[in-house]
Amino acid sequence: MNRREFNRNVLAVTGAALLSGGVAGGVSAAVPGGGVEADDLFGSKGLTDVDGLKVGHFTDQRRPTGCTVVLCERGAVAGVDVRGGAPGTRETDLLNPVNTVQQIYGLVLSGGSAFGLDTATGVMRYLDERKIGFPMGPEIRVPIVPAAILFDLELGDWKIRPDAEAGYKACLAATNEKIEEGNVGAGAGATVGTMFGLKFAMKSGLGTVSIRAGQTGVVVAALVAVNAAGDVYDSRSGSLLAGARTEDGTGFRNTIAQMRQGYALSPQQGKNTTLGVVATNAKLTKDQATKVAQMAHDGYARAINPVHTPYDGDTIFALATGTSAVPVNVATVGALAADAMAEAIARAVRQATGIPGYPSLHEIHG
């Protein structure tokens, strides 16, 4: 049996046991000798590996900005968890488990700071034209579309920002096929490592991965636009991938190490935010989806340092389409969501390409 076959067999056993709440006595998904083959752990399309979801980007060609839409036209149970100190959101209160609406039909991640919240209006128009939304009578349907934004106004002409038309165009581009990553959609104007000023920052972008839990049929996926004040790490190796650069621009400052020496203590304004979506085809209640969103923030903490600062509006939405009938342990779904999120963050910087003044990981690492 080769290493890939070994991984598949182990994941099939552990996935079934954990999802049902059982324990697979001491079996792990590690390859003999250490390491895990990523091809066996992560799906091929990203968030759209979850049945019932479509993803579309609008990327403005005039400057680096845009928006990313996730459509769940058949409805999806949703939760949210906001942990950054400078959030910009729309329709997140209705996702509170105590509130009435149980499903949403789309959501938007957008650049443009608070101006970008207008993109949700375009998504509502798209869904309204197709009579998709929360039933409020025999004929009335109200599309429920939460949104969250990140700050990218300092890259180019800040008067150019995503609007309702951008949200509508992202819907027209939505597909259930493989999702484009990097400098697209909400990740078009994303940067990382801004704690010492933008002149030392690096280009980031948008990334997405999915995890198939063995042969159970359950999928857990993540999509994220990484626009972080902190540095980004590979959660599996611990290596620093992207972040604040040194004075000559060729290496990393290591933000946390600099803070320990007393640097980066001067007050700053909120100019960042990492926006994420985790999704599963499992059936979850609204409170369970909220718990999954909370647990997914562990993925942020594994891959971004510092994170959840006063300068970030870090937000994660969780979606459950319920197309799988497999009973699940919510703790396992949340743990897989955090794992997927950490990997998606790494992909966001790996897939990014540099722009003038903001080099990419590949330009620094070679």
Q: What is the pLDDT of residue 28?
A: 29
- Give the mean model confidence (pLDDT) for residues 173-191: 97
CB contact at 8 A, 208 and 299: no
Structure tokens at 283: 């059936």
Residue 18 has pLDDT above 80, yes or no: no
Q: What is the pLDDT of residue 267?
A: 53
Its pTM stands at 0.88
- Give the mean model confidence (pLDDT) for residues 245-267: 83
Q: What radius of gyration do the chain's Cα atoms show?
A: 20
CB contact at 8 A, 119 and 163: yes
Q: What is the pLDDT of residue 5?
A: 42
Q: What is the pLDDT of residue 265?
A: 59
pLDDT band at residue 176, thresholds of 50, 70 and 90? very high
Interatomic CA distance for residues 201 and 242, integer angstroms:
9
Q: What is the pLDDT of residue 138?
A: 87
Query: For the segment 88-145, what is each residue's pLDDT rounded down to a tens digit?
Result: 999 999 999 999 889 999 999 999 999 999 999 999 999 999 999 998 888 899 999 9
Residue 317 has pLDDT above 90, yes or no: yes
136-157 as b/e: b if 16+ CB within 10 A: eeeeebbbbbbbbbbbbbebee
pLDDT band at residue 41, thresholds of 50, 70 and 90? low
Interatomic CA distance for residues 227 and 250, integer angstroms:
20
CB contact at 8 A, 36 and 90: no
> Which range has the worst mean pLDDT, 8-17, 114-123, 159-168, 273-282?
8-17
Interatomic CA distance for residues 300 and 189, integer angstroms:
19
Residue tagged 């779904």 (tokens)? 333
DSSP string covering 187-219: GTT-EE--TT-GGG-EE--EEEEEEE-TTS--E
CB contact at 8 A, 97 and 77: no
Residue 225 has pLDDT above 80, yes or no: yes
Identify which of 271, 266, 243 has the alpha carbon closest to the alpha carbon of residue 346.
243
- What is the bridge-based pairing of β-strands 191-192 and 202-203? antiparallel
Identify which of 310, 290, 317 has the alpha carbon closest to the alpha carbon of residue 186.
317
Average pLDDT, the chain: 87
Q: What percent of the chain has pLDDT over 90?
A: 73
Q: What percent of the chain has pLDDT over 70?
A: 87
Q: What is the pLDDT of residue 44?
A: 81
Report the 3 state secondary structure along 282-310.
CCCCHHHHHHHHHHHHHHHHHHEECCCCC
Q: CB-based burial of residue 314 (10 Å sphere; 0-12 exposed, 13-18 middle, 19+ buried)? A: buried
Q: What is the pLDDT of residue 304?
A: 96
Identify which of 96, 97, 100, 103 has the alpha carbon closest to the alpha carbon of residue 144.
103
Interatomic CA distance for residues 159 and 175, integer angstroms:
29
Q: What is the pLDDT of residue 72?
A: 96
Count of helices and strands (H, E) across the chain: 8, 16
**Apex 122 CA angle, 118 and 125, nearest 5:** 135
Residues 6+ apart with CB under 8 A from 25: none
Domains of the chain: 1-40 (no CATH), 42-365 (3.60.70.12)
Query: For the segment 260-288, what is each residue's pLDDT rounded down to a tens digit?
Result: 888 865 556 557 899 999 999 999 999 99
